[in-house]
Amino acid sequence: MKKNAAQVAYFMRPMGMEDIPTIARWFSNFDDIALFDRNLPVPVGQEAVFESWKPALEYTEPPRSLWFVAEDEDGNPAGVGGLQSINYIHGDAVLPMFIDRPARTNGLATGMTINLIDLAFGQLRLHRVSTFFRADHDATANVIAKVGFREEGRVREGWFAGGKHHDVVQVGLLRSEWQQGCEALREELKANSGIELRLEGIEA
């Protein structure tokens, strides 16, 4: 029997190359990954996924990207998310994410987003976080709106999937905006979903 959201605890740990087989399995469903990634023209195999992720997972000082895997209490991967293109001069980063189908609509995406934004604005001291999504992807749009991102522009019909062109929505969030509403958002997530989510592997 599938556990409901109130019964599931997740934790986020740093992603490693050992996670590539899981990522490759998720990315083999082209229609599904096309909701999250506009850079894959065709389904890709494990070796191609390995090569594409290798630069993002290699350690640099300071880090230019930080990626995490969310696992349920049984150790099953449920999603990946991170901060990439981290720029310490301008104080910004891009926040991408992918949630596996069984873990969608239960609050995990919102919880992961909260943790990543806290990391960006708290420990990394960044000024802004941005992301983009396909305009018809309502689930992502709902998370984006709930967290407080503001639309900053659109690339008209810049995302081709399923035989159609869709708008690319570009959004951003400033640290000052996040500080105004983050505590209320955490309480709302806890009350409505029961998701317990811990971020591990990052020193305070």
Which DSSP category does 3 fall into? P
What local confidence, expressed as pLDDT, does residue 43 receive?
Answer: 55
What local confidence, expressed as pLDDT, does residue 30 receive?
Answer: 65
Give dist(CA 193, CA 58) in Å, integer: 34
pLDDT above 60: residue 23: yes
Burial of 53 (0-12, 13-18, 19+ CB in 10 A): buried
What local confidence, expressed as pLDDT, does residue 154 receive?
Answer: 96
pLDDT tens sequence across 57-108? 887 889 899 999 999 888 899 999 999 999 999 999 999 999 988 888 788 8
Q: And the tokens for 26?
A: 């998720």
Which residue would you say has higher pLDDT here, 189 or 25?
A: 25
Give dist(CA 122, CA 116) in Å, integer: 10
What local confidence, expressed as pLDDT, does residue 64 receive?
Answer: 92
pTM of the model: 0.84
Torsion of CA 27, 33, 39, 42, to 10 degrees: 60
pLDDT above 80: residue 7: no
Which residue would you say has higher pLDDT here, 6 or 53?
A: 53
Which residue would you say has higher pLDDT here, 90 or 43?
A: 90
Which residue would you say has higher pLDDT here, 200 or 91?
A: 91
pLDDT tens sequence across 107-164? 889 889 998 999 999 999 999 999 999 999 898 999 999 899 999 999 999 988 878 8
What local confidence, expressed as pLDDT, does residue 121 receive?
Answer: 95
- DSSP states of 118-150 as a string? HIIIIIS--SEEEEEEETT-HHHHHHHHHHT-E
pLDDT above 60: residue 188: yes
What local confidence, expressed as pLDDT, does residue 2 receive?
Answer: 42
